[in-house]
């Protein structure tokens, strides 16, 4: 067993979770904007950030679960 794939998946998951929370906070702060053009730009940018980072979180979760199931257990 190598340590690099575990660390890579954990790093992807942690960074994706950070960007997910940042995207949600950016999405919520978009509603305080007064200019409609700025609102639309920030709203769609925040949704894109949430979409990409959510995909990263799911990727890391399923990779980590697969590695956990394949990990040899002492009986």
pLDDT tens digit string along 29-62? 999 999 999 999 999 999 999 999 999 999 999 9
CB atoms within 10 A of CB 45: 14
Q: Is residue 49 part of a domain?
A: yes
Q: Is residue 34 part of a domain?
A: yes
Give the pLDDT band (50/70/90) at residue 71: confident
Sign of CA dihedral 50, 52, 53, 55: positive
47 within 8 A of 28, measured Cβ to Cβ? no
Number of domains in the chain: 1
Q: Is residue 75 part of a domain?
A: no
- Structural domain boundaries enclosing 59: 4-70
Q: Is residue 45 part of a domain?
A: yes
Q: Is residue 51 part of a domain?
A: yes
Q: Is residue 39 part of a domain?
A: yes
pLDDT score for 5: 78
């Amino acid at each position: 067993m190598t340590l690099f794939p575990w660390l890579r998946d954990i790093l992807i998951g942690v960074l994706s979770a950070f960007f997910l929370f940042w995207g949600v906070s950016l999405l919520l702060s978009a509603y305080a904007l007064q200019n409609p053009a700025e609102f639309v730009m920030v709203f769609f940018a925040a949704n894109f950030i949430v979409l990409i980072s959510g995909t990263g979180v799911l990727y890391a979760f399923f990779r980590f679960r697969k590695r956990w199931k394949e990990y040899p257990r002492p009986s």
